[in-house]
Structure 1
Amino acid sequence: MTCRVLVTAGASGVGRAMAEAFDAAGYDVWITDIDRAALDGVPDHWTAHHADVSDEGDMHAVFAAISDAGGLDSLCANAGIAGPTSAIEDIDLKDWRGCVAVNLDGAFLAAKYAAPMMKSAGAGSIILTSSTAGQYGYPFRAPYAAAKWAVIGLMKTLAMELGPHGVRANAICPGAVEGPRMEGVLAREAATKGMSRDEVYQGYASGTSMGRFVEAQDIANMAVFLASGAARLVSGQVIAVDGHTVNPDPKL
């Protein structure tokens, strides 16, 4: 029987890499994304929904469709945004709430609707995308770091609550990931810190023992492993895929 996975924010970036990796592993792939143009570019055999992960109505509709299709084996609650890059005193409450809504509320809503299906099946894997910012914090990224720390707390709770029902929960903490989203972060941090883009880039890279950024495929490979039978007793874990962060902000 084919397994079914849902990847939120699955039309581009890390989410797209996850969806492609699960597809290659033989899963029936479902994705959500808020970017209609990106959704237009996904393979025809994926089931794609335009949805805002922080909108409960949107998420209820997605999971109702999944339930009608036979349920869910794996969830990758991956949607996230960088949020503002500013000193704490310069962050507007609206921007704080917007960042937390996508990064934390989105993970909560996905888990809320996935849990009953998985409990009923007596099995399942919930994978939340956190960040190394959720392990160490990060200056000038308060909303993002706070939300990603909270994602880890959510995951730990899910692992305890759902484990007796055969459902596992884990969090992946990507480091700096090559791609357009990180380029935006680099540009904003360069402006905030009075540095060049390349200086900020090297600061991130030199803060890891392996001296480099990771790629979306590295995150996707971990997600497929965590969903697989090879990880059948891996639950409640925070797994960094980051080249081993040794100094989260060496340039400050």
Structure 2
Amino acid sequence: MTQRVLITAGASGVGRAMAEAFDAAGYSVCITDIDEDALRFAPAHWSRHWADVSSESDMSAIFQAIEAEGGLDVLCANAGIAGPTDAIEDVELSDWRSCIAVNLDGAFLAAKHAVPLMKAGKAGSIILTSSTAGQFGYPYRAPYAAAKWAVIGLMKTLAMELGPHGIRANAICPGAVEGPRMEGVLQREATAKNMSRDQVYAGYASGTSMGRFVEGKDIANMAVFLASDAARLVSGQVIAVDGHTVNPDPKL
């Protein structure tokens, strides 16, 4: 029987890489996104839905549709935003709340509505996208780091609560991922630190023992592994895919 996976923010970036990897592995793919154009250009054989992950009504409707389509085996709660890049005293409360809403509330709502479907099947894999910012913290990224630390706490609790039901939960912590979203972070951080974009890029890369950024496919490959029977006893784990971060805020 074909396994079904839902990936939030699956129309572009890391989410798109995940969706393509699960598709190649033989899964039936469902994605949500708020980018209508990206959804339109996703493969037609994927189930595609517009949804704001921080809206309970949107998420409830998505999972009702998923249940009608045949249920759910794997959840990749991947939606996230970078949030502001500012010194803590300059962070607006509205920016803090919007960052928490997408990164943390979105993961919570996805898990909340996925679990009843997985319990019905007495199995499932929940994969939350955290970040190395959820392991080390990052200067000038307080809302994002706080949300990603909380995602790990959510995952650990889900693993304990849902293990008896045959449901596993794990978190992937990407490091700096090549792509448009990280490019925006680099530009904003360069401004905040009075550095050039290239200096900030080099700093992130040199902060890893492997000296490089990761790509979306690296995150996607880990997600497919965690969803597979090869990882049937892997749960409650925080797994970094980051080239081994050794210094999250190198000074150049």
Tell me, yes or no, whether TM beats 0.5.
yes
SS of alignment partner, residue 168 of structure 2: strand
Q: Which residue of 1 aligns with 2:62?
A: 62
Q: Which residue of 1 aligns with 2:23?
A: 23
Q: Shift of residue 70 of structure 1?
A: 1.7
SS of alignment partner, residue 139 of structure 1: coil
SS of alignment partner, residue 249 of structure 2: coil
- CA–CA separation in structure 2 for the residues paired with 1:15 and 1:109: 17
SS of alignment partner, residue 213 of structure 1: coil
Q: Which residue of 2 aligns with 1:113?
A: 113
TM-score by length of 2: 0.99
- CA–CA separation in structure 1 for the residues paired with 2:69 and 2:135: 37
The superposition leaves residues 70-100 of structure 1 with CA deviations (integer Å, 9 ceiling, x where unpaired) of 2100000000000000000000100000000
- CA–CA separation in structure 2 for the residues paired with 1:142 and 1:30: 32
Which amino acid counterpart does residue 101 of structure 2 have in structure 1? A
Q: Shift of residue 148 of structure 1?
A: 0.1
Q: Which residue of 1 aligns with 2:196?
A: 196
TM-score by length of 1: 0.99
The superposition leaves residues 187-215 of structure 1 with CA deviations (integer Å, 9 ceiling, x where unpaired) of 00000000000000000000000000000
Q: Shift of residue 105 of structure 1?
A: 0.2
CA contact (8 A) 1:200 1:251 kept: no
SS of alignment partner, residue 127 of structure 2: strand
Q: Which residue of 2 aligns with 1:93?
A: 93
Which amino acid counterpart does residue 200 of structure 1 have in structure 2? V
Q: Which residue of 2 aligns with 1:249?
A: 249
Q: Which residue of 2 aligns with 1:104?
A: 104
- CA–CA separation in structure 2 for the residues paired with 1:114 and 1:163: 15
Residues 63-212 of structure 1 aligned to structure 2 (within 5 Å): 63-212=63-212
The superposition leaves residues 99-155 of structure 1 with CA deviations (integer Å, 9 ceiling, x where unpaired) of 000000000000000111111211000000000000000000000000000000000
Q: 1:216 and 2:229 equivalent?
A: no
Which amino acid counterpart does residue 151 of structure 2 have in structure 1? V
Structure 1 runs not aligned, ≥5 long: none
- CA–CA separation in structure 1 for the residues paired with 2:15 and 2:32: 9
Q: Which residue of 1 aligns with 2:240?
A: 240
SS of alignment partner, residue 147 of structure 1: helix
The superposition leaves residues 37-89 of structure 1 with CA deviations (integer Å, 9 ceiling, x where unpaired) of 11111000000000000000100000000111121000000000000000000
Q: Which runs of 4+ in 1 moved over 3 A?
A: none
Which amino acid counterpart does residue 207 of structure 1 have in structure 2? G
Which amino acid counterpart does residue 3 of structure 2 have in structure 1? C
Q: Shift of residue 251 of structure 1?
A: 1.7
SS of alignment partner, residue 85 of structure 1: coil
SS of alignment partner, residue 239 of structure 2: strand
Which amino acid counterpart does residue 62 of structure 2 have in structure 1? V
